[in-house]
Amino acid sequence: MTRLGDSVARASALLVQDLSSDKTVEQLLTETKARRYLDLSDLSAKEQAELIASRTVEVLPAVSKLAERIEERRAEGRGLHIKLGIDPTATDVHLGHAVPLIVLGRFQRLGHDVTLIIGDFTAKIGDPSGRTSERPPLTDEDIARNLTTYREQVRPFFTFEKVSFRQNSEWLAPYTFPELLGLLTQVPVSQLLQRDDFRTRLASGAGLTMTEMLYPIAQGLDSVALDCDVELGGADQLLNLQMGRKLMELCGQRPQLVVTMPLIEGTDGSGAKMSKSKGNYVGLTASADDVFGKIMSVPDRLMEPYLKAWTEWTDEEISLARSRLEDRSLHPMDLKKVLAGEVVAALYDLDAAMAARAAFVAQFSKRSFTEVESLPTVDAAQHGGESVAAVLTKVLEFTPSASAARRIAKQNGLRLVVEAENGQQAMVLTEAAATRPLAEVVADTLSDAGLSAGSGAVYLKAGRKIAELRGL
């Protein structure tokens, strides 16, 4: 049996046990955390290709071709040459960005060589993928600043000591205009205009600059310069990656294989991609408690795609967990705590994961909010005239925007809770209520429930976040 097979057998034995038990969960996380550093080079070429393909959207031209390329390189006594391009566009990285890095780390452990391309030259153009307008180009100072913390943020996902770093200005800056013209004579404009985002913008009358048209060419020249076997990228990068294959072929090289990663849905469950601008992300620099809490707030339906994206669980293990959910021998909350622990253990360590688990249980399993220390408060006398959404966004900073607050309400995650001596009563607030003044909403909701401000302590709950309302 392979090393991975042995690990899966041990983990599967734990997955059928009581996952509400801290002891069992700690043993499981110990096993799966160790798997992130497990040597996978004893897998056959076919097993390697299938393992990679199980976490991708597409492998082009085919998974079998990836297996064949692995076998060829093995016969030559070496591994594949894999590359991933990174545009240094931000100082903060989130879990959505980590998906290709996790697969990159898996390639490392399979025995292959990895190159990270820092897109310092292409960042000055701006990747137009999925954009409705041209992205402002970055300066050298922007790029240097953004790269300062990037390396440390993504370090948990692969071994930097085994990574080759290259900047694409090495080959793009000296590229001459005659060379570019000679290349462009062989690239049909129709191929560039296959992009949905380009067609959408042109149909709407929006502008499309020549620099944006040339971005796929520039990215494709990265593939030519490094002559790699495989390039990784997000699913939204498919046409750029295919351009790399095209240019390699034009330059007499063997075209690279393309591996595309899924775009991960954000934590708010709205269907939108994880994005800092939407506030539905988990930052790699967030505290262990915050990471754990954010994962616990996601809809249950996101557990399986998140397990696939951020853990080393195999399809066999995920299927086992799913079957236990279906026969109700496993509670979704217990599986979600395991998922949250997996993410914290990856970013920090096992001790931090178990501590975050304990802190979450201590806070959110309490019967009374009055037992929870340091709850934020809202003075209704001061903020009662503001809408509930504005209070959540500007006063409490529970949500990044009013629209995010309304989305929580639409998902029945916005509630007014009254705690009295005889117990707790929670009332769901509608999306419409989120746009009304806080004082009016509280008064009407309490009245409809036959309660008053004097019935007990009143709390506003948005998702997993809670604040006490005072001065009612």
In tens, the pLDDT along 406-446 reads 888 887 778 888 887 666 777 888 889 999 999 999 898 88
CA nearest 217: which of 179, 253, 252?
179
pLDDT for the residue 371: 52
Pick the residue with more confidence: 454 or 56?
56
- In CATH, what number is assigned to the domain containing residue 382? 3.10.290.10
Across the range 291-304, mean pLDDT stands at 92
Pick the residue with more confidence: 292 or 135?
292
Least confident piece of the model among 31-35, 178-182, 396-400, 416-420: 416-420
Cα–Cα distances in Å, from 218 out to 119, 122, 135?
Answer: 10, 7, 16
Out of 345, 365, 385, a domain closes at 365
Across the range 366-378, mean pLDDT stands at 64
Neighbouring CB atoms inside 10 A of 78's CB total 12
Is 130 a residue whose pLDDT tops 50?
no
In a domain, 47, yes or no: no
φ and ψ of 167, to 5 deg:
-110, 130
Are 102 and 228 contained in the same domain?
yes
Are 66 and 149 contained in the same domain?
yes
In a domain, 136, yes or no: yes
CA nearest 309: which of 452, 103, 151, 131?
103
Pick the residue with more confidence: 459 or 149?
459
- In CATH, what number is assigned to the domain containing residue 22? 1.10.240.10
User: What percentage of the chain reaches a pLDDT higher than 90?
Assistant: 47
> Are the beta carbons of 83 and 231 closer than 8 angstroms?
yes
Are β-strands 58-60 and 257-261 bridged in parallel, bridged antiparallel, or unpaired? antiparallel
Are 37 and 77 contained in the same domain?
no
CA nearest 338: which of 50, 7, 32, 96?
32
Q: Cis omega before residue 61 (within 30°)?
A: yes
In a domain, 51, yes or no: no
In a domain, 412, yes or no: yes
Band of pLDDT at residue 369, cut at 50, 70 and 90: low
Out of 329, 350, 365, a domain closes at 365
Across the range 7-17, mean pLDDT stands at 97
pLDDT for the residue 376: 86
Is 277 a residue whose pLDDT tops 80?
no
Are 66 and 152 contained in the same domain?
yes
Are 98 and 201 contained in the same domain?
yes
Are 171 and 253 contained in the same domain?
yes
Is 248 a residue whose pLDDT tops 80?
yes
Pick the residue with more confidence: 374 or 232?
232
Are 61 and 29 contained in the same domain?
no
> Are the beta carbons of 338 and 31 closer than 8 angstroms?
no
Out of 204, 239, 261, a domain closes at 261
- In CATH, what number is assigned to the domain containing residue 88? 3.40.50.620
Across the range 379-405, mean pLDDT stands at 89
In a domain, 48, yes or no: no
Across the range 371-388, mean pLDDT stands at 81
Across the range 260-287, mean pLDDT stands at 87
What are 87's two structure tokens?
A: 């545009």
Are 62 and 78 contained in the same domain?
yes
Is 281 a residue whose pLDDT tops 60?
yes
Is 456 a residue whose pLDDT tops 60?
yes
pLDDT digits 0-9 by tens, 44-102: 999 999 999 999 999 999 999 999 999 999 999 999 999 998 876 666 788 888 899 89
Are 298 and 271 contained in the same domain?
yes
The mean pLDDT of the chain is 87
pLDDT digits 0-9 by tens, 230-245: 999 998 888 889 999 9
Is 143 a residue whose pLDDT tops 70?
yes
Is 368 a residue whose pLDDT tops 70?
no
Are 156 and 114 contained in the same domain?
yes
Provide the 3-class DSSP secondary structure of residue 364. Answer: helix
- Structurally, how many domains does the chain consist of? 3
In a domain, 449, yes or no: yes
pLDDT for the residue 146: 72
Question: Residue 394 gets which letter from DSSP?
Answer: I
Provide the 3-class DSSP secondary structure of residue 41. Answer: coil
Are 91 and 133 contained in the same domain?
yes
Domain that holds residue 426: 371-470
Are 164 and 249 contained in the same domain?
yes
